[in-house]
């Protein structure tokens, strides 16, 4: 398959964003992620296959989806009940005919295979709306799970004089990053927690390779602008010990800009539509005063720290 025919699984494209790089930007969200952060705000981006989201508020209980499903994954206990989906039967379904049988929009496919040419067509259409300094940002999920495609897409963007950025957890082989970072202008990389055991408890993986990669990334800052991001999760990574450890790490590797992002519960309905439990359903967002206290710690270490939508661009 030629590079123009190669496809990536994309779960969303946002045509205009002002928080994920300079200017207005087109965000491309790659589906699939090796981490399982319990606070994840994009659960529909975790699995590396197409999925069905079910919005009960739109369901008319016509049951056409049951007749359309070739795997018998959809059923009801009694007529007049909402449907139930056996996702072990539908996770790898190739056709998802159940969605075609739903005329009311209660079922939605999340995940679409797209070629570089298709994405570039979308990007070029958006380009006139970016304004000065805009461009493309690749995120996820985790963009590095589909790194070969991402690398070629970024190369194509640069060939078209389009500014590029990626958002990543840092969890991928360094050789993959070397390929992707060749055509990146801005790099946003997360630090979820500095302690490897606590990091594993919160995300499912250790942070050893993440931090090694971040240190390597920092040594190439002449090639791109680098920003650390922390999703501030109350009771997990917002304690002073962890924030100080993060600040010391940044000082040691020579990264001077960080953006701290307060946890929010906007993903609650997504978990419901995917029939998943949401561990943070009742968690409150951090108070603004608490965010400013974290900011002050970074400032005391001589680092530039931006809170929420206040960004360095």
Provide the pairing of β-strand 112-115 with 7-17.
antiparallel
Q: What is the mean predicted confidence (pLDDT) over 197-222?
A: 98
Report pLDDT for 14.
95
Tell me: pLDDT of 46 over 50: yes
Question: What pLDDT sits at residue 91?
Answer: 67
Mean pLDDT of the chain: 95
What is the torsion angle, in degrees rounded to the nearest 10, for the CA atoms of residue 239, residue 241, residue 242 and residue 247? 120
* Residue 1 pLDDT grade (very low, low, confident, very high; cuts 50, 70, 90): very low
Q: What are phi and psi of 279, to 5 degrees?
A: -65, -20
**C-alpha span between 80 and 93 (Å, rounded):** 26
- Position 109 scores a pLDDT of 94
Q: What is the pLDDT of residues 118-175, one digit of tens each?
A: 999 999 999 999 988 899 999 999 999 999 999 999 999 999 999 999 999 999 999 9
188 strand-pairing partners: 167, 227
pLDDT higher than 90, residue 4: no
Q: Cβ-count burial of 151 within 10 angstroms (0-12 exposed, 13-18 middle, 19+ buried)?
A: buried
Indicate the pLDDT class of residue 93, thresholds 50, 70 and 90: confident
When pLDDT is averaged across residues 27-38 and rounded to a whole number, the result is: 98
Can you give the pLDDT at residue 229? 98
Task: Report the CATH fold assignment for 51-110.
Answer: Alpha-Beta Plaits (3.30.70)
Sheet holding 135-140, edge to edge: 112-115, 7-17, 25-30, 135-140, 163-168, 186-190, 225-232, 257-262, 304-307
Q: Considering only residues 17 and 169, tell me which one the structure prediction assigns the higher pLDDT.
A: 169
Tokens 């005329």: give the residue: 103
Give the tens place of pLDDT for each residue, 57-91.
999 999 999 999 988 999 998 888 999 999 888 76
- Any idea which fold 7-47+112-307 has? TIM Barrel (3.20.20)
Q: What is the mean pLDDT of residues 271-277?
A: 97
Domain segments of the chain: what residues?
Answer: 7-47+112-307, 51-110
Q: What is the pLDDT of residue 16?
A: 85
Mean pLDDT across 8-29: 94
**What pLDDT, on the 0 to 100 scale, is given for residue 3?**
55
């Amino acid at each position: 398959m030629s590079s123009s025919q190669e496809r990536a699984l994309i779960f969303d494209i946002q045509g205009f964003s002002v928080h994920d790089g300079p200017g207005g930007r087109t965000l491309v969200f790659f589906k699939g992620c090796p981490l399982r952060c319990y606070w994840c705000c994009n659960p529909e981006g975790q699995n590396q296959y197409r999925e069905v989201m079910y919005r009960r508020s739109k369901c008319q209980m016509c049951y056409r989806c049951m007749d359309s499903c070739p795997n018998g994954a959809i059923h009801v206990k009694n007529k007049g009940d909402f449907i139930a989906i056996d996702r072990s039967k539908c996770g790898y379904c190739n056709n998802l005919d159940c969605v075609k049988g739903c005329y009311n929009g209660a079922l939605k496919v999340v995940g679409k295979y797209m070629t570089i040419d298709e994405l570039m067509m979308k990007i070029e259409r958006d380009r006139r709306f970016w304004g000065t300094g805009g461009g493309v940002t690749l995120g996820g999920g985790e963009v590095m799970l589909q790194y070969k495609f991402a690398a070629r897409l970024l190369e194509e963007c640069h060939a078209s004089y389009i500014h590029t950025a990626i958002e990543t957890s840092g969890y991928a082989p360094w050789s993959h990053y070397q390929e992707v970072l060749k055509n990146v202008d801005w790099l946003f990389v997360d630090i979820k927690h500095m302690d490897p055991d606590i990091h594993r408890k919160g995300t499912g993986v250790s942070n050893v390779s993440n931090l090694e990669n971040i240190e390597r990334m920092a040594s190439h800052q002449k090639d791109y602008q680098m920003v650390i991001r922390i999703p501030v999760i109350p009771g997990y990574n917002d304690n002073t010990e962890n924030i100080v450890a993060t600040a010391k790490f940044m000082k040691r590797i020579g990264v001077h800009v960080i953006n701290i992002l307060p946890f929010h519960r906007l993903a609650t309905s997504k978990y419901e539509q995917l029939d998943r439990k949401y561990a943070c359903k009742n968690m409150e967002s951090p108070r603004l005063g608490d965010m400013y206290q974290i900011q002050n710690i970074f400032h005391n270490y001589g680092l530039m720290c931006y809170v929420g939508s206040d960004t360095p661009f």
